[in-house]
Structure 1
Amino acid sequence: MTQAAQVTAQVAVKRSQPLWWLGALLAVYLCAPFVASIPQIGQADWAGVDWHATWSAVGVSVASASVATFVILLGGVPLGYWLARSRARGIALVGFVVQLPLALPPLTSGVLLLFLIGPYSGIGQLFGGSLTDSFTGIVLAETFVAAPFLIVAARSAFTAVDPVYDDVAATLGHHAASRFFRVTLPIAWPAIRAGLALAWLRAFGEFGATVMVAYHPYSLPVYTYVVFGGQGLPAMMPLLLPTLGIAIICAVLSVYSRGARSTLTVNLDNGDELTSITPAATVSDNAELRLAFAARRCLGAFTLDVSWQPQTRRLAIIGPSGSGKSLALRIIAGLERNDAGFVTLGATHLGTLPPERRQIGYMPQDYGLFPHMTVAQQLAFPVDADTASARYWLAHLGLDALTQRLPRELSFGQRQRVALARALTRHTQLLLFDEPFAALDTPRRRRLQQSLRALQREVGAVTVIVTHDPDEAALLADEVLVIEQGRALQAGAVADVFQQPATLRVAELLGLHNVGEGIVRAGGMIETSTGLRLPCADTSLAVGSRVMWRVSPRALVATQEGAWQGRIAGTSLRHGDRYVAVEIAGVTFDIAAEDAPASQSGDLRFTIDANGVLAWPAHGA
């Protein structure tokens, strides 16, 4: 550690000392009652303890708390899920009401229960008064008081579960109930389990509501109160020991489970490269396997309205953040409603099918691997997973040694390969990738792009990549759709779109330079808005027509005999290549650094090769 870092650490520790003292003071106070109880063990009246009554009370509390917790589990988990995921009106009010017992004094809770199930209430008379002063009454009181602990935990747990896991499970063929029990609930279970433990402990120690609803049979808290009233403090320690013992056991189990989780090792190696791919067979060009869609979706002020009927299998949708490209992908996957339109894959009309029946592979940004499943379980999860295919892709993608690892123990590259293998075990014909490399650094992103490109050559599925990176689209797609604000700006073959963008905005989104608009003038000249006239070798353009133009960086040459006067406006670095910006008559061009003049000061002269100027009709012209 450097000296500066040491000084910074010392300053941070010094500033945090008041917080440490406050925390230590509270810790001492919380521990003090337990310490104070130790001398009372020897002074307790052990001979006067009615052990039969004591253990009867312990049994009643354990049994009633267990039954109440089971009831809370059956209803609390669905209720927590509903509160977390429902957008229905009044859901906030329901959530508030079911948590009220946490804020009420227990005696108040008991009085409210008497209004409902007391011997003189309608429900109480229906059951002949058996709901009070009975084991059933204890369970009802404990359930009312302890249920919010599980409901709050379940609601928070389900809220924390990323909905993308449910989406991925749907595209892997699982219906709603299967997705809940196999994906959502297992992911949320650790937090729900903690809430369940709190609910049980709260029910076990409940006194106020219980004493109002069911004074008999004695639960342990009620019996403790009765003995204290008759015998005082000397009789308390024997009665407190069962409660303390149970609390200690719960604390030990909590520490043990937390320690066991912390010993998990995480793989830190990259492991991003695919193993060498040797295609098992040449993929035939099935002309019928083509994706086509028209998607329309209104979300508040935003409306997506795009359609596309590409002619190849490797596709990309490109656009800025918020353009609707991910929404279009989710409509194709069936994860979002299509207000008006269609989705077809060959002769199959996917738009009429739910996501679990579309036979697709959907991979979100983090690949959607289920955190509680090993690699082997991930590959076996699709409803129609083919075991032989899973074994093939495990070996083919270099995953053989990773079958027992969880996603958190995998590198980004390994996660991508597992997600691909999981989709390919279904023999899917459509693979959808939503920004698959957005969170990666440049070297790793390049490696994984090359890996995916190699895999595209082997499989015969249609692949759709959603991205904002034009280089990624050019590498992984043969056709591209450019969209912005929910509208299609241009679609076509990658080479055509990159060579001839329809508008300046498309050129900007594709990261193209030396592109502009102009008017065709006599003599094959193109006049820009700044008055610059560019020579163009294309004589087919009508004089007076509005065109888009693009100048090759190699078409600009610095020479003393040049017809155009300009100056150096700066430098830039793109994809590792250095470019020099040249300003001529208010228009900025990029030229390769090696073609820039040796002296970059003052005014310079340039020639523009007409053969390096490409022009085409502007969009809407």
Structure 2
Amino acid sequence: MTRLTARPLLWLACLLAVYLCAPFVASIPQIDHADWAGVDWRGTWSAVGVSAGSASVAALAILIGGVPLGYWLARSRARGMALLGFIVQLPLALPPLTSGILLLFLLGPYSWLGRLTNGALTDSFTGIVLAETFVAAPFLVVAARSAFAAIDPVYDDVAATLGHRAASRFFRVMLPIAWPSIRAGLVLAWLRAFGEFGATVMVAYHPYSLPVYTYVVFGGQGLPAMMPLLLPTLVIAVLCAALSVAWRGGPARRFEIAENGDATDEPAGETARPALPDPRLAFALKRHLGAFDLDIEWRPSTRRLAIIGPSGSGKSLALKLIAGLECNEAGFVRSGDRQLDALPPEQRHVGYVPQDYGLFPHMTVARQLSFPVDADAASARYWVKHLGLSALTARLPRQLSFGQRQRVALARALSRHSQLLLFDEPFSALDTPRRRRLQQALRALQREISAVTVLVTHDPDEAALLADEVLVIERGRVLQAGTVDHVFRQPASLQVAALLGLHNVGVGTIRAPGMIETVSGLSIEIADRSIPVGEEVMWRVAPSSIRIARDGAYTGAIDSVELRHGDLFAVASIGTMRFDIACDGEPAYRVERGPARFAIDTRGVSAWLSGVCVTQQEHTSPVSSHV
């Protein structure tokens, strides 16, 4: 099927390719019929010089103004910029003669500008340059706009957190990344300027450019005189095509992408990293974006923090507000005794590690580590050795494995002695084994450094491993905050329990000392008899505290048997509620689906006062989501 589908496409491609090549092939026999004796070589080379010189000046002017224009057209969301972008592209659609007429309205001898310059802008080398700039500029502007629009904004964000101001970020990050496309646009603009006829003949008939001279010779001597004039153009076109192919190929890669470079080397023992202050982070963040409002506040007391929430809850936005990459409309951000609110991102001295690590594609590892404005060379050397990067310093990001990229991003942030490290789901794109290895490596690093680390994640296991305190948010609001142990043991609501992936959680009322009655009418005994009768509580039954027993007090049915992380679980219905049951040591064939009786060990049942009112509809489906 694929071959049948591809064959018509190949035929169409070949048909167009043959047509594009045919004129060049047809010109070869005409070499013998060319009027070589009647060629005015002096006039020919003069015209070639005029065209090459004017095209080069026009291309330089287009480059100087077109790159910034393309950048602002790509970055600005103003309606005026959209209109400007449309007008800039109009010369591509206009007939060249029409472009020349429009230029005469502006530059002609009877225009106010023409009278001001005494006609110097027409029938002159300057006029040729102005005409070529008008018709050729869109090629570079469109290429630059497309190149800048394709750049991930995370590079600009990371460069800002590394201390670079806007101008430095443009020239050292954005422009080098966009340069291959801009370079191609520049070549097209130069070729378009070199071959421009219509606008040039209207604005500056003299001195002759090569296209105008070709037109004049053709009118006087006919087709036999054309081959000598075509040769310089063909030579220039061949050279430009060769350069384009060479640039597209780029330098050969010196390394293959590593697949086994994720394991962090053992820490080097010779050098001890200087101790840093022991800051604490506190923030209140408010941001309105369309229909979304973020309004959260947190004053944790430890250094290892995590923000948990579903997609679209505002986790990444919160991280950017802390880093100063987005505007905090109200509230505060403090790191220790430093007030960060009024500081731009380049002055906040934070280390920001986005999802794909934000390594600049045009910089080697060595340049990445020296890029921060206040990078400490001694610290960079320490982390290069400590994180096993010594053999990688000459590599580009594309030549690194995911684990190596993460370590480079960490080393780059740590080379500034940053007191605040922000991680935006750094493991989300990795497979499970690699993710676990890198999580363990980051956990070991957290124990060594004194910086506050804030991890944004939707993975509860990851938060429990890498944080001491967690903030659970949804739709821009705080659902619960506290230590990992407290939040996971006593979620404030079913909503929090669902986000944490907790099993066997529900709500109910204490009807008698040590007895919970769930909203579905199921009675569950608890060992704690201190909670007063009549109180509404949340409860949780540990999966290991439920067992399948013939003499069990609860009747129900086993609905399915599942294997999670190598452990066997049965999913059972007891009354109208669903429970997960840990089947430790039981082979799968021994756990049969169908009616069964169950016993619950009261020592595995916990209850706590509910701080959130939950509707009757929410009560009917206790959490049984899986992490």
TM-score, length basis structure 1: 0.96
1:46 aligns with 2:36: yes
Task: Indicate if the aligned counterparts of 2:306 and 2:456 stay in contact, CA closer than 8 A.
Answer: yes
| Letter in structure 1 aligned against 2:36 | W
- Select which of 595, 603, 606 maps to 1:614: 606
The root-mean-square deviation of aligned C-alpha atoms, in Å, is: 1.6
For residue 17 of structure 1, give the secondary structure of its aligned residue in structure 2.
helix
| Aligned equivalent of 2:105 | 115
Task: Indicate if the aligned counterparts of 1:273 and 1:448 stay in contact, CA closer than 8 A.
Answer: yes
| Aligned equivalent of 1:537 | 527
| Letter in structure 1 aligned against 2:545 | A
Task: Indicate if the aligned counterparts of 2:268 and 2:385 stay in contact, CA closer than 8 A.
Answer: no
For residue 38 of structure 1, give the secondary structure of its aligned residue in structure 2.
helix
CA drift at 1:206: 0.4
For residue 330 of structure 2, give the secondary structure of its aligned residue in structure 1.
coil
- Select which of 203, 207, 224 maps to 2:197: 207
| Aligned equivalent of 1:518 | 508
| Aligned equivalent of 1:173 | 163
Per-residue CA deviation, residues 43-70 of structure 1 (Å, 9 max, x unaligned), is 2111111111111111110100000011
| Aligned equivalent of 2:233 | 243
Question: Where do 1:125-144 residues align within 5 Å?
Answer: 125-144=115-134
Per-residue CA deviation, residues 417-461 of structure 1 (Å, 9 max, x unaligned), is 000000111011000000100011111111111111111111111
- Select which of 586, 589, 600 maps to 2:592: 600
1:410 aligns with 2:385: no
Distance in 2 (alpha carbons) for counterparts of 1:283 and 1:489: 38
Distance in 2 (alpha carbons) for counterparts of 1:74 and 1:282: 46
| Letter in structure 2 aligned against 1:347 | D
Question: Where do 1:118-517 residues align within 5 Å?
Answer: 118-261=108-251, 265-277=255-267, 281=272, 289-517=279-507
CA drift at 1:257: 2.5
Distance in 2 (alpha carbons) for counterparts of 1:282 and 1:507: 40
Task: Indicate if the aligned counterparts of 1:570 and 1:581 stay in contact, CA closer than 8 A.
Answer: yes
| Aligned equivalent of 2:619 | none
Distance in 2 (alpha carbons) for counterparts of 1:442 and 1:552: 25
CA drift at 1:620: 3.6
Distance in 1 (alpha carbons) for counterparts of 2:322 and 2:24: 62
For residue 306 of structure 1, give the secondary structure of its aligned residue in structure 2.
strand
Which 10-residue stretch deviates more, 323-332 or 514-523? 514-523
Which ranges of structure 2 fall in alignment gaps of 5 or more residues? 614-627
Distance in 2 (alpha carbons) for counterparts of 1:594 and 1:136: 87
CA drift at 1:555: 2.0
Per-residue CA deviation, residues 234-288 of structure 1 (Å, 9 max, x unaligned), is 11111111100000011111222333446564313220011113675599796x5
- Select which of 94, 97, 106 maps to 1:104: 94
Per-residue CA deviation, residues 179-216 of structure 1 (Å, 9 max, x unaligned), is 00000000000000000000000000000000000000
Distance in 2 (alpha carbons) for counterparts of 1:481 and 1:79: 43
| Aligned equivalent of 1:569 | 559
| Letter in structure 1 aligned against 2:128 | I
CA drift at 1:578: 1.7
| Letter in structure 2 aligned against 1:64 | S
CA drift at 1:599: 5.8
Distance in 2 (alpha carbons) for counterparts of 1:430 and 1:526: 45
CA drift at 1:574: 2.7
For residue 352 of structure 1, give the secondary structure of its aligned residue in structure 2.
coil
- Select which of 33, 37, 40 maps to 2:27: 37
Equivalenced residue count is 610
Distance in 2 (alpha carbons) for counterparts of 1:282 and 1:102: 59
Task: Indicate if the aligned counterparts of 2:304 and 2:454 stay in contact, CA closer than 8 A.
Answer: yes
- The 1:266/1:363 distance shift into structure 2, 3 A limit, reads same
Distance in 1 (alpha carbons) for counterparts of 2:163 and 2:86: 36
| Letter in structure 1 aligned against 2:37 | A
For residue 341 of structure 2, give the secondary structure of its aligned residue in structure 1.
helix
| Aligned equivalent of 1:5 | none
- Select which of 46, 68, 79 maps to 2:69: 79
CA drift at 1:566: 2.2
- The 1:34/1:285 distance shift into structure 2, 3 A limit, reads closer
| Aligned equivalent of 1:7 | none
Which 10-residue stretch deviates more, 566-575 or 509-518? 566-575
- The 1:285/1:48 distance shift into structure 2, 3 A limit, reads closer
Which 10-residue stretch deviates more, 423-432 or 11-20? 11-20
| Aligned equivalent of 1:8 | none
For residue 118 of structure 2, give the secondary structure of its aligned residue in structure 1.
coil
Task: Indicate if the aligned counterparts of 1:555 and 1:609 stay in contact, CA closer than 8 A.
Answer: yes
- The 1:534/1:72 distance shift into structure 2, 3 A limit, reads same
Distance in 1 (alpha carbons) for counterparts of 2:22 and 2:465: 67
| Aligned equivalent of 1:68 | 58
- The 1:107/1:591 distance shift into structure 2, 3 A limit, reads same
Task: Indicate if the aligned counterparts of 1:558 and 1:596 stay in contact, CA closer than 8 A.
Answer: no
Distance in 2 (alpha carbons) for counterparts of 1:385 and 1:49: 64
Distance in 2 (alpha carbons) for counterparts of 1:272 and 1:519: 50
Distance in 1 (alpha carbons) for counterparts of 2:276 and 2:225: 87
| Aligned equivalent of 2:78 | 88
TM-score, length basis structure 2: 0.95
For residue 254 of structure 1, give the secondary structure of its aligned residue in structure 2.
helix
| Aligned equivalent of 2:578 | 588
Per-residue CA deviation, residues 71-101 of structure 1 (Å, 9 max, x unaligned), is 1111100110111000112221111111100
Percent identical among aligned pairs is: 71
- The 1:260/1:283 distance shift into structure 2, 3 A limit, reads closer
Distance in 2 (alpha carbons) for counterparts of 1:21 and 1:620: 67
Distance in 2 (alpha carbons) for counterparts of 1:599 and 1:259: 60
| Letter in structure 2 aligned against 1:494 | V
Which 10-residue stretch deviates more, 570-579 or 472-481? 570-579
Distance in 1 (alpha carbons) for counterparts of 2:397 and 2:253: 16
Distance in 1 (alpha carbons) for counterparts of 2:90 and 2:12: 31
Task: Indicate if the aligned counterparts of 1:536 and 1:611 stay in contact, CA closer than 8 A.
Answer: yes
Task: Indicate if the aligned counterparts of 2:544 and 2:583 stay in contact, CA closer than 8 A.
Answer: no
Distance in 2 (alpha carbons) for counterparts of 1:530 and 1:520: 14
- The 1:154/1:503 distance shift into structure 2, 3 A limit, reads same
Distance in 1 (alpha carbons) for counterparts of 2:433 and 2:111: 73
Task: Indicate if the aligned counterparts of 2:276 and 2:417 stay in contact, CA closer than 8 A.
Answer: no
| Letter in structure 1 aligned against 2:608 | W
Distance in 1 (alpha carbons) for counterparts of 2:253 and 2:336: 50
Question: Where do 1:551-570 residues align within 5 Å?
Answer: 551-570=541-560
| Letter in structure 2 aligned against 1:556 | I
Distance in 1 (alpha carbons) for counterparts of 2:254 and 2:112: 56
| Letter in structure 2 aligned against 1:87 | R
Task: Indicate if the aligned counterparts of 2:513 and 2:530 stay in contact, CA closer than 8 A.
Answer: no
For residue 603 of structure 1, give the secondary structure of its aligned residue in structure 2.
strand
